[in-house]
Structure 1
Amino acid sequence: MEMSKEEFLGQFGGDYGYPGAPKGVDEMRATEFKRLEGMAYLDHAGATLYSEVQMADVLNDLTSNVYGNPHSQSDSSMATSDLVTAARHQVLKYFNASPREYKCIFTSGATAALKLVGECFPWSRESCYMYTMENHNSVLGIREYALSKGATVLAVDVEEVADLAKNHGSDSLYKISRRSNQRRGKDVLSHNCQNGSLSDILGQKFSLSLVKLIKEGKIPLQQQIIALFSLDSSVFSMLIKYIKYRGKWMVLIDAAKGCATEPPNLTVYPADFVVCSFYKIFGYPTGLGALIVKNEAANLLNKTYFSGGTIAASIADIDFVQKRKNIEQVLEDGTISFLNIASLRHGFKIIEMLTTSAIERHTASLATYVRNKMLDLKHSNEINVCTIYGQQSSKVEGLKMGPTITFNLKREDGSWFGYREVEKLASLFGIHLRTGCFCNPGACAKYLGLSHSDLVSNFEAGHVCWDDNDIINGKPTGAVRISFGYMSTYEDAEKFLKFLQSSFVSLPVQFNGYMLNLNSLNLIDNSSQKAVSDIHLKSIIIYPVKSCQGFGAKSWPLTTGGLMYDREWLLQGSGGEILTQKKVPELGSIRTLIDLELGKLFIESPTRRDKLQVSLLESLADLREEIDVFGQRMVINDRFLQDALGKGDCKQKLPVDAMRFRPNLVISGSSPYSEDNWKKLCIGEACFTSMGGCNRCQMINLHQDSGQVLKSKEPLATLASYRRKKGKILFGILLNYEDIMEGENEIVAERWLQVGQQVHPSIE
């Protein structure tokens, strides 16, 4: 599968790596992105990365100059005003927008710019807001302003059906199909749904010539319409309004993602509004975006609120206010983020050195290479591993693929890998990607085949954004997305492809001279499931405080729910939140001990000399609800630690003991994995029922040593390579203690576990 770098350069060398620039991508990564060593950052659509040289320039600028509040006339304030003016011109230049025709309004981001247009636009009952299914929530949110003013809202699908380069002046280049018609009355929001044909354009880029066609009135839509079109589901969105009394269309392009590799040329495609966020272009600063607005379009925006810096004069005790004439000052409330604005020139310096056209070719070469390799991935039974959304060949010659790939993965039986499983495993390999619906519910539903009833039932089942419910009723609820940036490399692409190959592709393997499928290997020797005399209880570990260290005991009593006092206490933060090692890994260095004779719990921290003492007689009633969650006990087989972790081609072995897995009971004397098939087991007179395998997470990668928490990717990465089952990485089993009642009053019989007791497992 792997293509050598020489072969890759032979195919893509004309576009990859900035061959004509002063500094190539390999040199740039080595000198300006040293922090990326060992990782592959593939979420540039979410946020690209700042360079170390860029940040050094920003620091030098801020430590060498004095910038005052621009709402003043001092020398430092005037210097700031001049810098802000220069920054506005630099932003306009980036979009090839003439300062005579366009203005740059700084906002806190692209979302704030969209909101500004939505709240200032002159909506009425004659307006109709139309948007494509592929739009971001920040764009969909504009419909709230439209609906509140009585406007109609439409959702549509747009398909390019002809090549714009060969059909100048044609009125039928796009097929537009309506999805739904929404209108909000006094109390009701009604929906008129119509079925429309779907187009599959995710990750593809349509020509911005659509802007010209709209402005020239050559798109045959209804009159009195506001429409939102997605030119690239990961790049551009367009908002169009036919204003009856002015007889023209207004066009808004959401260029938040697209402007990093291919900003719209406003001289060629004269949109009325463009929004962007600068961290998407060069990583820093965050919290700063812009609204690029055409002069005549700016006159339509009616802003109600006024603030410092937006008015020429006001009187406090009567209704008198005069707004400024300058549209930038009218729309920019309060003091702008002038220090962040000062840093823009240092980011643009990188873009100007490389050029946007070279960045676009560089990122497209990587995306094309990875996309083609992903489509070639097959399981041993020839089932495709990757389903890439928007990967169908286009009818249109001018259609280009962007730097983003959105996909899901299938098992060899046709079922889906959950996107959260992919994300968790990727983190073990040092790969940063994004999963979910990317704040784009329309595209998610459209390409995943989720109906309205599916979406509602998923929500009622508890699924919300950013949770772990990645598969519901056999269907993905989201997808996986990777995206490339200007500093992405061939090595990043190869790291990702090797991750897919090693983690998700089922291949036939040679075993004792026979070809077997890796996933069909039975790792359990059924002959070892019989109870034998040498299976015994090796260790008992109690964890009184969840996420803190446990302590070993030679013997320990059982009570309702399991081991007495195990996970009875939780640590609570100052804000009321429950603390765990996932949030505070250092909890693993806190030592605990229970003295049953004294009736006390001792808690000791390596950072304090004194020990905390807690009486075991104190009421725990208020904690009982939380305690029940952790009522199951966990048992592991210590033979695994000796035998199984020797697998793989690791350069050096990592010593792993049982305590890394935080078990309650460690069993010795049986073969590795034998506990997987145990249904019940008895230890002495105490009997337990298996609740199934214990799902593992990155917490087992935390290594507590001398109070210091050292992180690594092992042993979870090794476990993940062959102990995965339906998205779970299993090791050890969970046990439920079977209480036994005695006497006329049915009192729970007192049972004790003792190290060395015989263990009698049963697989029936």
Structure 2
Amino acid sequence: MHVKRLGEISGLVLRLNTSYGRWSGSHKLDLGEMSGIPLKNNPSFILCFLSGTVYLDHAGATLFPQSQLTSFTKDLMENVYGNPHSQNSSSKLTHDTVEQVRYRILAHFHTSPEDYTVIFTAGSTAALKLVAEAFPWVPPGPESSGSHFCYLTDSHTSVVGMREVVAAMNITSIPVRPEDMWLAEEQDATAASDPDGQPLHLFCYPAQSNFSGTRYPLSWIEEVKSGRMCPVGGPGKWFVLLDAAAYVGTSPLDLSVHRADFLPLSFYKIFGFPTGLGALLVNSRSAPLLRKTYFGGGTAAAYLAEEDFYIPKESVAERFEDGTISFLDVIALKHGFDVLERLTGGMENIRQHTFTLAQYTYTALSTLRYPNGAPVVQIYSDSEFSSPEVQGPVISFNVLDDNGNIIGYSQVDKMASLHNIHVRTGCFCNTGACQRHLGISDEMVKKHLQAGHVCGDDVDLIDGQPTGSVRISFGYMSTLEDAQAFLRFIIATRLRPSHGQPLPLVMPGEAGALPAESEAQKAVPATRARRSPSLQEDASPDSRVWDNSPTTVDAVSLRPPLLETTRTQQTPSEKAAGIPDGGLGSHIVTNLFLYPIKSCAAFEVTRWPLGNQGLLYDRSWMVVNHNGVCLSQKQEPRLCLIQPFIDLQRRIMVIKAQGMEPIAVPLEENSKPAQICQSKVCADRVNTYDCGEKISSWLSKFFGRPYHLIRQSSDFQRNARKKRGKGMRMERKNYFQ
């Protein structure tokens, strides 16, 4: 295979297969020229909120170009689209436009209304549920084992969830491993099933794994339908559902060649907008078999309200589209197709473009080594990225330390966010593939659940073993610069020493200095000890905060240590726990930290006044976005770089951040109250105060998006019911904790 040198990134020589790219004279891969996609200097790709952002989660949801929204909104401003179930002129325009979009969808997949029907749904998940409910399942009986529902274990949760629907119909569900299908593909079909026999079975598999990007053979469709390759043995006729949601976002699909019976998809995977709209493409030969019980608005040819009489409409689409479809979103698809074709030249160009980016990044990641020769990442893949026929533009991996230990994906995600790189972490709603690639047994999954880990949380390591991985994926507007920015991030954070500085300690005379004794009659004393800096103490994005070995620093005590105190009585909690009197011994408070602004850096003191909600000013402020949504480091990891200092003598809070001039916020409350809605932080509506435009502008400049600083009212009281619901009591609580 002929290869050429691509260039060097931090001393790494990268090579790529030239059959998927062309090279400029400077040995730099010109992806736009390679695929015909005009990526550079094209205003249609400019999104105002993407400045400096490296978006690598296109498998989760791709992005939309500005011209797509401009074209769509212009259409809405110039035309009146009414409910398609009405008969007026605006409704007729809607109906005709929707039908044109149906034709456009079928043409995109190289088929026609004679061969396939487009049923609009809320997404691919709704399309899968529709098939599970409407497929003509045959329960087992005296003379038949009944229908089988088979699915590849490397399937999305929404596919596996179909088994709960069929279980209620007494239908057997059988998971099939990819290895078994590959083995069946290699064997002679001497025991082929009868393609015209009974009962009817359904086999579901993804065209592309949403976990690893593996692309399974589209030839399986015809092999299974013809009976030459059976997921399980036994008589009957097989139908095939091809889950194309992850595949069609970056690849063409020809349904005139690969004639799946059912094809669910979500359009935001292709266009980015609109969301909440998908479709089920149904083969015309399979459509008459579908059964339906419920009927909604627009689906009935006739029915009686006082008699069990109902006749469905003849059109398959009208029969299964209950109620009014999301017709404006359907119309938006027209503009999505127009812009996609104009900007890219077609899906084949997108396939070549995205695969080349993935192949380039895979090659670079595979090459990265620590000085001791250990790999920097472990990649989970069934291919070596040799061809877009077998691999999609998806890379799933975990980062390793130089001893080969896996670094939790949550730590990688947080560090990537500090570099404004957007990735996906976890199992990506594909437990089967996650188990297979990470070596997680069924028993381990159950133990992880008992340990508190659930799908979608940030528990990334249990007993040193990963619960998921990191995934990056490319879309048609991804660039070589995106791939290189990601590689520079991995190199900078894993192969360079840390230059981070710990949080400055509070010294007398500075902001945060201790108040005079008269102001601190309720002060809480504390001593200091050796400690390990946390993510909040390190303001450098390149610091190795995800290292497994802690680093300790010497902390200078500003007050002499206090003598240990002896307790003679147990606390109620100790008595309830059955701890013997004196069993816990004496205690010393060694460190005292305040967090004036929720989720921002700590403010360390040796003693501090108490307020009516605990430590004075602890978690009294919070950062919210333009919608009033409370922010934490999960949504905005750079909050840890904000360092507040409270000066009780000057009655101000000084806020610092790297690259910003310090700003002071008065401790006195604003006289203009504002309300924020309940959120995960506060269970009720809370009286708060906006701290003003000055600090809002400061935060917005630092984060690059509109943020506000709010403060909880010190006299806010909440009505809370007692545990048994009898009577009411007043409770004072800090909701920012």
When normalised by structure 1's length, the TM-score is: 0.63
Partner in structure 1 of residue 76 of structure 2: 62
| Cα displacement (A) at 1:281 | 0.2
1:109 aligns with 2:123: yes
1:88 to 102, 109, 119: 102
1:306 aligns with 2:295: yes
Q: 1:55 to 1:4 in 2, by over 3 A?
A: farther
1:156 aligns with 2:160: no
Q: How do 1:313-712 and structure 2 match up within 5 A?
A: 313-353=302-342, 354-390=345-381, 392-393=383-384, 400-505=390-495, 556=608, 565=616, 567=618, 653-654=659-660, 706-708=694-696, 710-711=698-699
| Cα displacement (A) at 1:66 | 0.9
Partner in structure 2 of residue 118 of structure 1: 132
Partner in structure 1 of residue 213 of structure 2: 203
Q: 1:522 to 1:714 in 2, by over 3 A?
A: farther
- Bigger shift: 398-407 or 335-344? 398-407
Counterpart code for 2:694? S
| Contact 2:12–2:367 (8 Å) recurs in 1 | no
Partner in structure 2 of residue 599 of structure 1: none
Q: Give distance in 1, aligned partners of 2:114 and 2:189.
A: 31
1:297 aligns with 2:286: yes
Q: Give distance in 2, aligned partners of 1:707 and 1:75.
A: 53
Q: Give distance in 2, aligned partners of 1:173 and 1:284.
A: 47
Partner in structure 1 of residue 9 of structure 2: 2
Q: Give distance in 2, aligned partners of 1:420 and 1:520.
A: 13
Match of 2:177, SS state, is strand
| Contact 2:421–2:486 (8 Å) recurs in 1 | yes
Partner in structure 2 of residue 675 of structure 1: none
1:214 aligns with 2:224: yes
Q: 1:67 to 1:474 in 2, by over 3 A?
A: same
Partner in structure 1 of residue 720 of structure 2: none
Match of 1:400, SS state, is coil
Q: Give distance in 1, aligned partners of 2:381 and 2:416.
A: 23
Q: Give distance in 2, aligned partners of 1:583 and 1:255.
A: 31
1:38 aligns with 2:44: no
Per-residue CA shift, 1:554-613, capped at 9, x if unaligned? 98558999x85564989999xxx9967669999x99999999xxxxxxx999xxxxxxxx
Counterpart code for 2:402? E
- Bigger shift: 359-368 or 453-462? 453-462
| Cα displacement (A) at 1:18 | 4.3
| Contact 1:95–1:263 (8 Å) recurs in 2 | yes
2:244 to 246, 255, 279: 255
Q: 1:69 to 1:368 in 2, by over 3 A?
A: same
Q: Give distance in 1, aligned partners of 2:601 and 2:497.
A: 41
Per-residue CA shift, 1:124-145, capped at 9, x if unaligned? 2312212222111100111011
Per-residue CA shift, 1:16-44, capped at 9, x if unaligned? 63438776111336754454221110000
| Contact 2:211–2:427 (8 Å) recurs in 1 | no
| Cα displacement (A) at 1:479 | 0.7
| Cα displacement (A) at 1:312 | 0.6
Partner in structure 2 of residue 746 of structure 1: none
Q: 1:266 to 1:556 in 2, by over 3 A?
A: closer
Q: Give distance in 2, aligned partners of 1:398 and 1:17.
A: 15
Partner in structure 2 of residue 193 of structure 1: none
Q: 1:584 to 1:92 in 2, by over 3 A?
A: closer
Q: 1:604 to 1:200 in 2, by over 3 A?
A: closer
Q: Give distance in 2, aligned partners of 1:19 and 1:545.
A: 49
Partner in structure 2 of residue 754 of structure 1: none
Per-residue CA shift, 1:598-643, capped at 9, x if unaligned? xxxxx999xxxxxxxxxxxxxxxxxxxxxxxxxxxxxxxx9xx9xx
Counterpart code for 2:223? L
Match of 1:129, SS state, is strand
| Contact 1:201–1:390 (8 Å) recurs in 2 | no
Q: Give distance in 1, aligned partners of 2:425 and 2:449.
A: 18
| Cα displacement (A) at 1:204 | 2.2
Q: 1:543 to 1:121 in 2, by over 3 A?
A: closer
Counterpart code for 1:427? S
| Cα displacement (A) at 1:60 | 0.5
Q: 1:277 to 1:152 in 2, by over 3 A?
A: same
Q: 1:3 to 1:172 in 2, by over 3 A?
A: farther
Match of 2:9, SS state, is coil
Partner in structure 2 of residue 75 of structure 1: 89
Counterpart code for 1:439? C
Q: 1:208 to 1:481 in 2, by over 3 A?
A: same
When normalised by structure 2's length, the TM-score is: 0.66
| Contact 2:111–2:256 (8 Å) recurs in 1 | yes
Q: Give distance in 1, aligned partners of 2:424 and 2:414.
A: 11
| Cα displacement (A) at 1:297 | 1.0
Q: 1:371 to 1:546 in 2, by over 3 A?
A: closer
Match of 2:398, SS state, is strand
| Contact 2:45–2:65 (8 Å) recurs in 1 | no
Q: Give distance in 2, aligned partners of 1:581 and 1:414.
A: 31
Q: Give distance in 2, aligned partners of 1:52 and 1:74.
A: 33
Q: Give distance in 1, aligned partners of 2:256 and 2:409.
A: 41
Partner in structure 1 of residue 66 of structure 2: 52
Q: 1:498 to 1:582 in 2, by over 3 A?
A: closer
Q: 1:295 to 1:530 in 2, by over 3 A?
A: closer
| Contact 1:277–1:290 (8 Å) recurs in 2 | yes
Identity of aligned pairs, percent? Answer: 37
1:127 aligns with 2:137: no
| Contact 1:278–1:284 (8 Å) recurs in 2 | yes
| Contact 1:42–1:483 (8 Å) recurs in 2 | yes
Match of 1:286, SS state, is coil
Q: Which runs of 5+ in 2 are unaligned?
A: 1-7, 23-28, 141-145, 193-208, 500-543, 562-590, 666-690, 704-737
Partner in structure 1 of residue 583 of structure 2: none
Partner in structure 1 of residue 730 of structure 2: none
Q: Give distance in 1, aligned partners of 2:57 and 2:153.
A: 22
- Bigger shift: 74-83 or 364-373? 74-83
| Cα displacement (A) at 1:413 | 1.8
Partner in structure 2 of residue 180 of structure 1: none
Partner in structure 2 of residue 618 of structure 1: none
Match of 2:406, SS state, is coil
Per-residue CA shift, 1:122-175, capped at 9, x if unaligned? 2223122122221111001110112111111111212365898xx9x954999x
Q: How do 1:237-252 and structure 2 match up within 5 A?
A: 244=236, 248-252=237-241
